[in-house]
Amino acid sequence: MVSSYLKTVIRQIIGNPRRFFAILSIVVLGVSFYSGVRAASPNMRLTVDKYFDEYSSSDIQIISTTGFDDGDIKAISSAKDVDIVMPGYSVDGFMKKGDRTLLISFQSLDLDSLNSRPDTVLNRPALVEGRLPVSNNECVLDSMLKDFYGFKLGDSINILAANDPTIADSLGLLEYRVVGFVNSVQHISIQRGSSNKGEGVLSGFALIPEQNFKMDVYTQVFIKVKNTDSSRFSDSYVKRIDGIEEEIKQIGNRRNPLRYKEIIAEAEKELAKGRKEIKDAEQKLIDGEKELQNGERKLADGEKELAKNRKKYENEINNAEEELNRAKAELEKAKAELEDSESRLEAGKSALEKAKAELDENRSKLTQGEQALAQLNAQIAALSSQLELLPQDSPEAAGLAAQISQLQGIYQQQSKELEDAKKQYEQGAAQISANQKELENSEAQLKKGWEEYRRGESEYRKNLSLFEKSKTEGARELDKAQRELDKSRRELEQAKQEYAYKKPDALAKIEDAKKKLAEGEQELKDLKEPEWYILDLEKNTGFSGYRQDTDRVAAIGLVFPLIFFLVAALVSLTTMTRIVEDERQNIGILKALGFSSFSIAAKYLIYSGAAALLGIGIGIATGPILFSRVIGDAYGIIYTLPTVQTAVDPGSAIIAGAGAFASAVLPTLLVCYKELAAVPATLMRPRAPKHGRRILLERASLIWNRLNFSQKVTCRNLFRYKKRLFMTILGVVGCTALVFTGFGLRDSIRMMVPLQYDEIQKFDFAVYLKNTVSQQQKTQLDGVLTADSNVKNFVSFHQAETDAKANGLSQSAYLVVTGDRGKFREFIALRGRKDKTPINLPDNSVVITEKLGRMLKLKAGDTLTLSVKEKPDITVKVAGLAENYVLHYIYMTDELYRSLYGGPAVTNAVYGQLFDKSEPAEGKLSRALINLDYVANVSYTTTLRDNFFDMVSAMDIVVVVLILSAAALAFIVLFSLTNINIEERRRELATLKVLGFNDVETNMYLYRESIILTLIGIAGGLVLGIFMRLFVVTTAEVDIVMFARQTDWLNYVFSALITLSFSVIVNLFMSISINRIDMVESLKSVE
C-alpha cells in the first residue's frame, strides 16, 4: 500500500514535469532574487568590515591646525577607551609620469613597527603586487597609479621640488624606487581626495619610510578604539565612536592652550629671527655699496700704479735698447774691421803663397840653370878634351876651339845670370820670410781680435737675452697687471650690475620680509588656539560614500524584491491551485480506495513542497552568489575593495524560504481540503463546464455584430474563466510594473546629473576661502579672476554649515547668503520642481531645497530654526521649496542676514563660469588659485559630474540586474500561466481539432486570449509602475540626495515591448504542446 502510494507521488512529479519545473523556477527566481538582493547590502558591509579588520583600520583620525607633538600623543593615549595611537606624517607633492604631472599624497610608513610589531600599525597597506619597502629609498604606490597611469615595479619616481620648493623642507629624500603596489583602507574610493596644492585634486598616494620625513611635529594621528566588535555600519558602533570623540575633544581642549603658548613662544622667536634677518639684509646692502665704492677706489689706484709702472718699464726698455744698439754697432764695426783685416790677411797670404810659388819656380829655374850650366861646362870640358886630341891647327881644332870659346862665352853669361838669379832668389826668400812673419803676427792679432769680438758678441747676446727676458717679463707683468685690472674692472662692473639688478629684488625681499613680518606679527596677534579636527569613518569620503551606496542598495532591496517575490508567490499559488483542481478525479479514486484525507493531501503537499524546498535551497544558495556578487562587483568601478562576500543573510533567507514554501504548500492544502469535502463519486466525475453567459460586450450590438466567430469566442472565454483572467492579468501587471520600475529607477538616477549641474547649479567652478581672509585678499582674488580670459563670469557669496530644525527634526545643510540676487540667479536657478516656476528670494524669508523641506516636513509659510556655529540660533520663515537633487541648501539675502545676525555676511566663496571647460584650462586656473594662501579649496562641476556618473554607472548595473530579473520573472510567469491554460483546456483544444481547426487556428484560439490579457496586463502594469517607481525612488533615496521624479517616455515602450515579446516567445514555445495534443485521447470520457 505504502509502496503504491509512493509510486503515485513519484508519478505525480514525473508526470507533470513542466508544472514541477515552473514551480521550481518561480521559487528559485523569487527566493534567489529576494535573498540575494536583500543580502547585497549586508554583504557589501561585511566585506568592508572584514577588509578593515584584516588591515587594522583606524576608527578615528585627528588632524590639527598646528600638528601634534609628543605631549599631544601622550595625552591622546591616556584616553580610557583608546587602544592604539599611531601618529604619522603626510605631505602632498608632485611627480611626473610621461607628460603628466601628478599630485600625490606622500604618507609615512613605520617600517620598524611594521616588521617587529605589526599589530600596533594601523591602516596597514594591502599588498597587491611586489613587496613592502626595506630601505629608505624604496616606496610603494597606490595600485590605482599602476592601473591608470602605467607605473610598474622598478620605476624610479622623483618628487618635483621645482613645482613645490617647500617639499624639501618636509622630506629628506626626493627620489624613490617603486617596489610594490598597495591598496589602503584609508582610500577605498577611486576619488583619492583633495589638496591645497596644484589643481587641488590628488591622483593617488605613496607610502615612504617614516624616517625620510623632516617635520618637527606629526601631521596626523590615527586611533584604534577598544572593544569595537560591532559592524562599523551599526548604530552601536557610531554611538560608541561619538562618545570617544567627545573624550578626545576634551583632551584637545586641555592640550590646545598649552600648545598655543608653545607656538606663541616659537613664533616670537621666529619673528625675532626675522627682524634680525631683515636688519642683516639691510646691512648687507649697505656693505655691498661700500664694497663697490672701495672697489672703484682700488681700481683707480691700480690704474695709476699700472700707468706708472708702464712708463718706468718703457724708459728702462728704451735705455737698455740704446745700450744694446751701441754695443751692437761697436760689435758690427769691430767685426767689419776684423773681416777687413782678415781679407787683407787672406790677400797677404795669397800674395805670399804666390811669391812662394814664384820663388819655388825660380828655385827650379836656378836648379835647371845650374844643371844647364853644369852640362854646358861638361860639354866645354868634353870639347876641350877633344880639342887636346886634335892638332891645334887643324880646322877641326879651330872649329872646335871656336865652338868651345862660344860655349865658354855662353857659360860665363849664364853663370852670371845664374848668380844674379840666386841673389834675386835669396832676396825673394828673405822678403817672403819677412812677409811670413808679418802675416803670422797679423794672423795672431786677427785671432785675438776675433776672440775679443766673440767675447763682446757673447756678452751682447747675453745682455740681449736678459733684455728680451726682462722685456718679456716686464710686458707679462704689465699684461698680468692689466688683466687683473681689467678683471677687477669687469668684476666691479659685474658687481655693479649685479648690485643694481639685485638691489631692487633685495629691497623688494626686504619689503616683502617686512610685510611678512608685519603679517606674522598680525597673525600672531590674531592667532587662535589650535583646533583638532576629529574625523571618524563617517567623515572619510570613501567610507561615507560606500555607506550611502549600501544604504541605496538596502533601500532598493527593501522594496523591489518584496514586490518581485509577491508576483512570484502569486504565480506559485496559481500553479498549485490548478494542479490540485485538475487532479480532483485522482483525489476521488484515492478517497474511494480508502486513503485518508491527510494521505491524499500529502501527495500534493509532497509535490509542491519538494519543488518549493528544492527551489528554496537553490535560491538561497545561488542568490547571494549571483545577485550580491553582481551588485557588489558593480561598485568595484568606483571603489578599491576585495571581492564582495557572498554570505547568506539569515533573516532574508528565512523570510524568502518561508514565503516561498507557504505560497506553494498552503494553496495546495486549502484546495485539497476543499476538494476532499466532496464524496468520491462526485470527485471521480469531471467537473461540469461553466455555463456560458452573455457578456457586457454582447449588449453593444453595434460592436458585437461586427466581430467574427473567433473573436466572439475569445471575448466570451476571457470572461468565462475569470480566475484565470485575473491571475494572468495580475501576473503580467506585476512583471510589467517591475520592468518599468527598473527603467524608471535608472532614469531617476541618471537624470539627476544634467538637472543638477546643467539647469540648477549653472556654475563651472567654486572657490572656497579660509575664514581669515581679508578684504584686500578678496580684492586680489577678484583681480585674478577678472584677469583670466577664460573666466566668463563670477559671483561672491557667503556659505556656512548649519543645522536646520523644525517639527522636532534636525538636518545638516549649507546656508548660502548672497548680496546680489540678480547676478546670483545666473549661477543658481531657484525654481519649483513640478512647474519650473522661478522662486523669488525675499528679504524677509528664506528659500530651502525640496528634499530638506520634505525631511523636516516643511512647506511654504512654515518656520524653521537655524543653528550656525558661533552664532545665536535664529528662526526664519520659509518662502518656498526649490528644486535640488544633491545636498541641502538654505538661500538667504544679505539684508536678511544683517537683520538676523546684526552684521554683514563675510564673503568666503565664489561661483564662476568658464568659456573653456577642458581639463588643461581648469588645471591652469586651479594652479593660479591654489597658490593664493587664503584659498582653501577649488572644485569643478566637471569633477562632481564625473564622480556622480561613476556612482550612476555602478547603480546602472544594479538596475540592469533588476530589469533582467524582472524580465526573467515575466517569462516564467507567462510560461506558467500559459502552460496551466493549455493543460486545463486540452479537451477544448482537442474538440477544435476534431471540428477541423488547423494548427495555426488552434494556436490562435489561445493566443488571442493570451495577447489580449497580456496587453491588458501591460496597460495595468504601466499604471501600477508609475506609482511603484515613485515609491521605490522615494524609498531608495539617501538623506543628501533626491532622485529625479520624471522618466523618459521610451521606458513605457521598452517595458511594454519586453513583456509582449516574452508573451509571444512563450506562445511560440507552447505551440509545440498544442500541436501535440491527441484529439482522440483528449476527448475520452472517464465513463
The DSSP bridge partners found for residue 109 are: 209
Sign of CA dihedral 674, 675, 676, 682: positive
Return all residues near 744 (Cβ < 8 A) that are at least 6 apart. 1025, 1026, 1029, 1032, 1033, 1047, 1051
pLDDT number for residue 876: 92
Give the residue from 169, 167, 191 showing the smallest Cα distance to 106: 167
Supply 206's cell numbers.
605613496
CA distance 758 to 335: 114
* Structure confidence by residue, pLDDT tens digits, 1022-1071: 998 888 888 877 776 767 778 888 888 888 898 888 888 888 887 787 77
> 3-state DSSP call for residue 125?
coil
pLDDT number for residue 397: 73
Return all residues near 684 (Cβ < 8 A) that are at least 6 apart. 585, 588, 589, 592, 1086
Backbone dihedral angles phi then psi of residue 196, each to the nearest 5 degrees = -95, 20
Residue 331: CB atoms within 10 Å: 17
User: Which DSSP state fits 758?
Assistant: I
Type and span of the H or E element at 64: strand 60-68
Cα dihedral 606/608/611/617 (nearest 10) = -80
CA distance 287 to 289: 5
Select from 1.10.287.1490, 1.10.730.10, 3.30.1180.20, 3.30.420.40 the CATH code of 275-471.
Answer: 1.10.287.1490
CA distance 621 to 656: 12
Residue 697 has pLDDT above 70, yes or no: no
CA distance 486 to 479: 10
List Cα–Cα distances, 168 to 20, 87, 214, 741, in angstroms: 75, 21, 9, 57
Return all residues near 948 (Cβ < 8 A) that are at least 6 apart. 752, 753, 756, 886
> Parallel, antiparallel, or unpaired for β 809-818 and 791-806?
antiparallel
Give the residue from 314, 58, 199 showing the smallest Cα distance to 935: 199
* Structure confidence by residue, pLDDT tens digits, 976-1025: 777 777 776 777 777 777 777 777 777 777 778 778 888 888 999 899 88
More confident residue, 525 or 809: 809
Range with top average pLDDT, 26-30, 682-686, 693-697? 26-30
Backbone dihedral angles phi then psi of residue 915, each to the nearest 5 degrees = -80, -55
* Structure confidence by residue, pLDDT tens digits, 443-470: 777 677 777 777 777 777 787 777 777 7
Mean pLDDT, rounded, of the chain: 80
- pLDDT confidence of 709, banded at 50, 70, 90? low
CA distance 401 to 641: 172
- pLDDT confidence of 3, banded at 50, 70, 90? low
What spatial distance separates the first Cα and last Cα of the chain, rounded to whole Å? 26
pLDDT number for residue 421: 72
* Structure confidence by residue, pLDDT tens digits, 567-599: 766 776 777 777 777 777 777 777 777 777 777
Residue 1085 has pLDDT above 60, yes or no: no
- Contact between 320 and 467 (Cβ < 8 Å): yes
Buried/exposed 898-932: b ≥16 CB within 10 Å, e otherwise? eebeeeebebbbbbbbbeeeeeeebbebbeebbeb
> Parallel, antiparallel, or unpaired for β 935-940 and 765-769?
antiparallel
- pLDDT confidence of 88, banded at 50, 70, 90? very high
* Structure confidence by residue, pLDDT tens digits, 115-144: 888 888 999 999 999 999 999 999 999 998
Domain ranges of the chain: 54-247, 275-471, 721-757+944-1087, 758-943
Cα–chain-centroid distance for residue 633? 23
pLDDT number for residue 903: 84
* Structure confidence by residue, pLDDT tens digits, 407-435: 777 777 777 777 777 777 777 777 777 77
pLDDT number for residue 198: 66
Supply 949's cell numbers.
556618473
pLDDT number for residue 893: 92
Supply 254's cell numbers.
586641555
* Structure confidence by residue, pLDDT tens digits, 740-754: 888 888 888 778 888
pTM: predicted TM-score of the whole model, two decimal places:
0.65
E strands, 585-648, where?
A: none
Supply 508's cell numbers.
623688494
- pLDDT confidence of 690, banded at 50, 70, 90? low
More confident residue, 566 or 862: 862
More confident residue, 519 or 256: 256
pLDDT number for residue 1: 46
- pLDDT confidence of 630, banded at 50, 70, 90? confident
- pLDDT confidence of 1087, banded at 50, 70, 90? very low
Residue 440: CB atoms within 10 Å: 11
What is the number of H-type helices and E-type strands within the chain? Answer: 28, 20
Question: Percent of the chain, pLDDT > 70?
Answer: 90
CA distance 732 to 1024: 11
User: Which DSSP state fits 774?
Assistant: -
More confident residue, 106 or 487: 106
pLDDT number for residue 1086: 47
Give the residue from 597, 564, 736 showing the smallest Cα distance to 663: 564
CA distance 171 to 496: 38
- pLDDT confidence of 955, banded at 50, 70, 90? low
Supply 225's cell numbers.
578604539
CA distance 113 to 124: 11
pLDDT number for residue 1082: 57
More confident residue, 734 or 74: 74
More confident residue, 417 or 92: 92
Conformation bin of residue 204: beta by default, left when phi > 0, alpha when psi is -120 to 50: left
- Contact between 656 and 616 (Cβ < 8 Å): yes
Return all residues near 674 (Cβ < 8 A) that are at least 6 apart. none
- pLDDT confidence of 688, banded at 50, 70, 90? low
- Contact between 228 and 971 (Cβ < 8 Å): no
CA distance 717 to 728: 13
Average pLDDT over residues 1073-1084: 66
User: Which DSSP state fits 964?
Assistant: H
pLDDT number for residue 1004: 76
What are the start-end ranges of the H helices in 55-172? 70-77, 111-116, 143-149, 167-170
> 3-state DSSP call for residue 90?
strand
Give the residue from 678, 690, 756 showing the smallest Cα distance to 718: 690
Q: Cα Rg for the chain, rounded, in angstroms?
A: 62
Give the residue from 607, 723, 722 showing the smallest Cα distance to 668: 607
Give the residue from 266, 252, 263 showing the smallest Cα distance to 64: 252
- pLDDT confidence of 471, banded at 50, 70, 90? confident
- Contact between 157 and 95 (Cβ < 8 Å): yes
